[in-house]
Amino acid sequence: MIAQLVKSAADQGVYLYAKEGALHFDLTVAEFPAALKQDIIANKAEIIAFLSHAAGASGNAQGPQPGHYPDGCVLSYTQQRFWLLEQMQFGQSQYNMPVALNVEGALELTLVEKVLSTIVSRHQILRTVYREQDDEVRQHVLPEYDFSLGFVDLSDSQGEQQQAQLSQCLLEEAQRPFDLTQQLSIRGQYLKLLGTGHDQRGVLLLTLHHIASDGWSMDVLINEFVTLYRAYSAEQANPLPELALQYADFAVWQRDKMQGGEFEKQLAFWQQTLEDAPLTHSLPTQHHRPEVKQTQGAHVTATLPAFVAQQLGAVARQAQLSPFMLMHAVLGVVLSRHSNQSDIVIGTPVANRADEALSPLIGCFVNTLALRLNTCHSTLTEYLAHVRQVHMNAQVNQDVPFEQLIDALNLPRTSSYTPLVQVMLTTNDKFTDGNDESALMALPDVSLSPLQGSHPAIKFDLEIALNISDNQIETTWNYDVALFDAEFVEQLSEHFNNALIALADMSPQARRTLPLNRLSILGDKLESYLIDGLNNNAADYPVDKCIHEVFEEQALQTPDQLAVKFGNKQLTYRELNERANQLAHFLTREYQVTPDTFIGLCVERSLEMIIGTLAILKAGAAYVPLDPAYPRQRVTYMMENSGVKIILSTHFIIEQLDLTDYHSVCIDGLGNEQVVQTFVDYPTHNPSELVRGLTSSNLAYAIYTSGSTGKPKGVLLEHKGIVNIAFNHRHYLKVDEQSKVLHFASMSFDAGTWEYVMALLSGATLVIADSVQRLSPESIGQLLHSEAITHVLLPPAFLAMMEFRDDLALKALAVGGEACDQEVVEQWGGAYRMVNAYGPTEISICATWAELRPGQKVTIGKPLKNTSAFVLDSNQALLSPGVVGELYISGVGLARGYHQLPEQTAERFIPNPYFDGHNKCVTETLYKTGDLVRYLPDGELEYLGRIDQQVKIRGFRIEISEIEGLLSECPDVDAAVVTVASSATGAKHLVAYVQLNNKHAKNSASGHENINDDKAAVQRIKTELADKLPDYMVPGMFVPVSQWPLTSNGKIDKRALPEPDLAAVEGEYIAPATPSEQRLVAIWAQLLHLPESEISTSANFFALGGHSLLVSKLVRAITSDPELQLQQIDMQDIFTAQSLAQLAQHIDLLRMQQLNAQAADSICDQDLVEDGEI
């Protein structure tokens, strides 16, 4: 970053300094290197901030001073962190730093050993060990040490065998752990591959522990190695100057420095900046995150050529960014698009060597800056300015040790991932004039070159290393193989380069005005596939016809075909058309109805329900279904809000409702054989000549759906979208004149329109279920059989309660209205064609559909004809297949909006950034569904839940649908619903409602709950979830339900679920019950300075104020406690335990294992009667 640029300038004879807010330089070379000058100009503001900060820091306080520490000294904050990590993951090698060098020529190993011994003597940190004393860890410099170079001869092997042996040796050496309590922090090994003398070839491997080294230190090490080897080979004395300071001096100084006001100011900045930051990245992982962070890595490398690198350099300068900042900005966009998360935290190291005397030291000075980006900016220009400000603020506040920051933020601790930062971005910017760097590593008669390791140890989930120069941009993506597959990381790399190339190819003017969501990371081919390839389904249909006009054509074609049946009453197409015509003539003559006029329809389920619907449409008006079964207050609100003046109803309902302010039209008996006297004198022919100005773009109906304000909102639907649905029915569901369609849904639900349109616009027969039948799964099953129904749409929850039968005439069993469980598909999908119909009311009932088959993933499929779907992030940027995003819909069926709600309409119906007029399915407006989906490899959409089901608990973003999906896979679970409940204190908790499976139900006696069986099942479910989910995603409470409460539309009514008792999960005081719990309460109280009475066994050590320094003290307190009698417990166990009770249980388990081991050791061989394996 900036420190590297300043150092690089000094290396080239250009010394930079800040004075009175301006940037000055002293030149010690003949001319100012041109490339360096460009880089300095591009980063001028950041360099001034950096140098001013460094000058201020050195001016306000004395720098590190040399000291003598015979009793050892304190650890720096970075050392402290690595020591704790080493104790947590004892025997691991993830913090080893190996550097392997190819050697060609006559390398003298005795000189190598002498050189390395000199370096170890020179840098005390390399011979520093770490020992615990008086409840703290201190570092001690070994006065005597023995450094010897290891030697392995592989010259007897050749070819692939030798390469395999070499790889194995390198891997074993790189993974061999250090014992920091007694060993040097450096070791070396030479692996001989070929010959002797000048023909010699081998590999020199140097391995350091991160507690004693960092990236800068590795450069120091190599430079000193080369300098000393050259001198010693020429029989010269050590040419390196004496070091003024040692690392221990820095550690002491840092501890003192972190007490002042400047530190408090910087710490306050970071606390404010990182408040409510996401605790983990939201990138999709291909494997479940292990309980303990793994260290095996792999890498993907990609390169961009010189002309792209040079163009990007110009882009960076125009935006007043360093090349690194520009790369960081682009990486933020890529990670945002792949995680559908706009809050992106990326770590980056800073050298932390502002004092010049620290530059020649080996040691771990590096500090981590957690850079938090917000990708919710409207334009690229605004976003790049934001990135620049983030970097400048971080540079000015870079002194706070990352370890101190983590403790101050009081973040939840876990052994499964690194706190706050899991993605690290590093760079070794080549701010040079292009000289050959190989000369820096040239030795007498020997050539050295770096050897790239193939299996790097991985400290974070993702580590992106940039190598930026004018010649190329090389990106190496190191990734944790326990989380990610190579294919996913390759896609990240490709998309990163796509975005860089897109920026490089853009004109300055285009960049200045580019909306950020239009910065392409996918490439032209994939973008075209997502916009047009997956939405290539335009089809001709009578776009200019209204619903009733298509029906009238059908009535003319099949006048004697049975149109509608209700109980023992029925009407042919001719009769239905004529009854509707008479009512329509009455409405047009008596009330002068005009297009887009609303007429209410409030009738019981009957033939009149269908007659009234068609009559309103024929009169040129739009119907507003008012279900008389709805609460009176809701019906009254719908009448008032819609502004209806005319309401079609029955005598009974008119008497029940106060309709004095309305023109109420009684349509009782319209379905009987004899026409009602009121309408007998009206014509039976179509009233089209009386309706003026009506088109398919006029309103057909308004459906009231639940609103976010607590009041329902009216969705305005036009004729053309419903006619498109009808023709999709004919094409996809094969509805024809021989079909019989069940009318199951309420007309106040859009499925009610789906059902009558499916039948009456295709010549089929509509069979209406009465109000009693539609509430009974048994009655509906009987009706499907007795009426030989061929097409039906049912809510999955209702279908799940129906007894399966294989003697039905079904040709299409459609489910919709809510997510369908796999178990329902397994039961019904084998016997009948099963279709999943997805669609919000705002898209004319249905937007996508899919075939459901046993053994296959439940999806919502692909868009209907003349409909398009897009998976976008929160900024409406296209997301790659497989990435979870929000579903947006466009097409001919899009609603006009919400009645009298312009703000909500503008919020949900937005301009389509992907509309260009050439694809008929992609219309000018997009509907924002609020549903989370992702594209599967075959182009089908997988439904994953609602965005409002995406919650944040304890700082973690949680997808409720993911938990529900895993619950449904548990053998004990038939179906599950997860909700979020808030306690009296405002804390949020996950609550799982589970319907236990049939096998479990049979264990219950005659319908009575078997409480023990329920508890056992819940415990098994918890255990299974804990194996698949992190602890924060496991519901804190499970509530078994015997039967789901349903809404009037057959969906699960979440508001009717029983209220959970949150006392048990709220942290209510629970007294210690076991001896181990009692001892832990006493130990915690002493360490945390809390009364024992305030420490519940459900409490978390870190939530009570515990921090990383106290962990080692807690371990010592436990292992030294005479009552616990435990010899060893790992620090990792402290981080893993989520409560005092869990830690006590683990201690009991460890003590049992300890006793068993002791008993086994005490058995003498002569006392052994028999041994064996069980």
Average pLDDT value for the chain: 87
Query: How many Å apart are CA 664 and CA 650, to the nearest integer?
Result: 9
Predicted confidence at residue 1030, as pLDDT, reads 67
Q: The whole model's pTM is what?
A: 0.78
**What would the two tokens of residue 200 be?**
């010699």
- At residue 374 the predicted structure's pLDDT band, cuts being 50, 70 and 90, is very high
- CA-nearest of 236, 180, 171, 254 to 213 is 180
Residue 234 corresponds to which amino acid? A
- At residue 948 the predicted structure's pLDDT band, cuts being 50, 70 and 90, is confident
Burial of 1008 (0-12, 13-18, 19+ CB in 10 A): exposed
**What would the two tokens of residue 1114 be?**
């807690």
CATH fold of 287-437+452-512: Chloramphenicol Acetyltransferase (3.30.559)
Predicted confidence at residue 122, as pLDDT, reads 95
Three-state SS string over 612-677 comes to HHHHHHHCCCEEEECCCCCCHHHHHHHHHHHCCCEEEECHHHHHHCCCCCCEEEECCCCCCCCCCH
Lowest mean pLDDT among 53-67, 670-684, 866-880: 53-67
Predicted confidence at residue 655, as pLDDT, reads 86
- CA-nearest of 699, 593, 704 to 641 is 704
- At residue 31 the predicted structure's pLDDT band, cuts being 50, 70 and 90, is confident
**What would the two tokens of residue 991 be?**
């609550």
Query: How many Å apart are CA 14 and CA 37, to the nearest integer?
Result: 10
**Cβ neighbour number for residue 1059 with a 10 Å cutoff:** 8
The Cα-based distances of 205 to 95, 171, 192, 451 in angstroms read 16, 11, 11, 9
Predicted confidence at residue 717, as pLDDT, reads 97
* CATH match of 954-1064 with 3.30.300.30: yes
Predicted confidence at residue 985, as pLDDT, reads 52
Read off the pLDDT of residues 402-416 as tens digits, 9 standing for 90 and up: 988 988 888 777 778
Q: Is the pLDDT confidence value at 1168 over 60?
A: no
Q: Which CATH class is domain 77-251?
A: alpha beta
Sequential DSSP letters for 155-175: TT--HHHHHHHHHHHHHHHHH
Lowest mean pLDDT among 194-198, 763-767, 911-915, 947-951: 947-951
**What would the two tokens of residue 1141 be?**
């009770």
Read off the pLDDT of residues 707-721 as tens digits, 9 standing for 90 and up: 656 678 999 999 999
Lowest mean pLDDT among 33-37, 910-914, 1092-1096: 33-37
Which residue would you say has higher pLDDT here, 428 or 1114?
Answer: 1114
Query: How many Å apart are CA 134 and CA 122, to the nearest integer?
Result: 29
**What would the two tokens of residue 1015 be?**
């508890």
Q: Which range among 318-322, 582-586, 1131-1135 has the greatest average pLDDT?
A: 582-586
- Which of 683-708 are b and which e, b meaning 16 or more Cβ less than 10 Å from the residue's Cβ? eeebbbebbeebebebbbbbbbeeee
- How many percent of the chain have pLDDT more than 90? 57
Residues 6+ apart with CB under 8 A from 309: 468, 469, 470, 471, 472, 473
Which whole number is the average pLDDT over 10-15?
70
- At residue 1174 the predicted structure's pLDDT band, cuts being 50, 70 and 90, is very low
Predicted confidence at residue 61, as pLDDT, reads 57
Residue 103 corresponds to which amino acid? V
Q: Hey, what long-range contacts does 385-392 have (CB within 8 A, 24 or more apart)?
A: 385/319, 387/321, 387/325, 387/328, 387/329, 387/332, 388/319, 388/320, 388/321, 388/325, 391/1, 391/46, 391/322, 391/325, 391/328, 392/45, 392/46, 392/49
Q: Is the pLDDT confidence value at 1008 over 50?
A: no
φ and ψ of 30, to 5 deg: -60, -40
- Let me know: does 350 contact 369? Beta carbons within 8 Å: yes
Looking at residue 874, what DSSP letter applies? T
Which whole number is the average pLDDT over 86-95?
73
Read off the pLDDT of residues 340-370 as tens digits, 9 standing for 90 and up: 899 999 999 988 887 888 889 999 998 999 9
Q: Is the pLDDT confidence value at 1164 over 60?
A: no
- Which of 1063-1097 are b and which e, b meaning 16 or more Cβ less than 10 Å from the residue's Cβ? eebebeebebeeebbbbbbbbbbebbeeeeeebbb
Predicted confidence at residue 431, as pLDDT, reads 34
- At residue 744 the predicted structure's pLDDT band, cuts being 50, 70 and 90, is very high
**What would the two tokens of residue 144 be?**
């005597």
Predicted confidence at residue 1130, as pLDDT, reads 83
Which whole number is the average pLDDT over 432-447?
62
Please report how many Cα atoms fall inside a 13 Å half-sphere around the Cα of residue 939, on the Cβ side: 14
Predicted confidence at residue 1006, as pLDDT, reads 37
**What would the two tokens of residue 735 be?**
């509805």
- Let me know: does 826 contact 854? Beta carbons within 8 Å: yes
- At residue 422 the predicted structure's pLDDT band, cuts being 50, 70 and 90, is very high
Q: Which CATH class is domain 1075-1162?
A: mainly alpha
Q: Domain ranges for the chain, please list them.
A: 2-60, 77-251, 287-437+452-512, 954-1064, 1075-1162
**What would the two tokens of residue 1158 be?**
């002791």
Predicted confidence at residue 1007, as pLDDT, reads 40
Which whole number is the average pLDDT over 211-221?
90
Task: Mark out the alpha helices in 123-203 (DSSP H runs).
Answer: 159-175
Predicted confidence at residue 1131, as pLDDT, reads 81
Read off the pLDDT of residues 33-54 as tens digits, 9 standing for 90 and up: 877 887 788 777 778 777 766 5
- Let me know: does 345 contact 375? Beta carbons within 8 Å: no
- Let me know: does 1070 contact 1096? Beta carbons within 8 Å: yes
- What is the dihedral sign for C-alpha 1164, 1166, 1167, 1172? positive
Helix, strand, coil shares of the chain as percentages rounded to 5? Answer: 40, 20, 40
Look-up: residue for tokens 């003017």?
A: 509
**Cβ neighbour number for residue 490 with a 10 Å cutoff:** 13
Predicted confidence at residue 922, as pLDDT, reads 94
Which whole number is the average pLDDT over 1108-1130?
87
Looking at residue 283, what DSSP letter applies? P
Q: Do domains 77-251 and 287-437+452-512 have the same CATH topology?
A: yes
- Which of 141-170 are b and which e, b meaning 16 or more Cβ less than 10 Å from the residue's Cβ? beeeeebebeebebbeeeeeebeebbeebb
Q: How many residues are given for the chain?
A: 1174
Q: Which range among 67-81, 431-445, 541-555, 682-696 has the greatest average pLDDT?
A: 541-555
Q: Is the pLDDT confidence value at 30 over 90?
A: no
Q: Is the pLDDT confidence value at 433 over 50?
A: no
Predicted confidence at residue 33, as pLDDT, reads 80
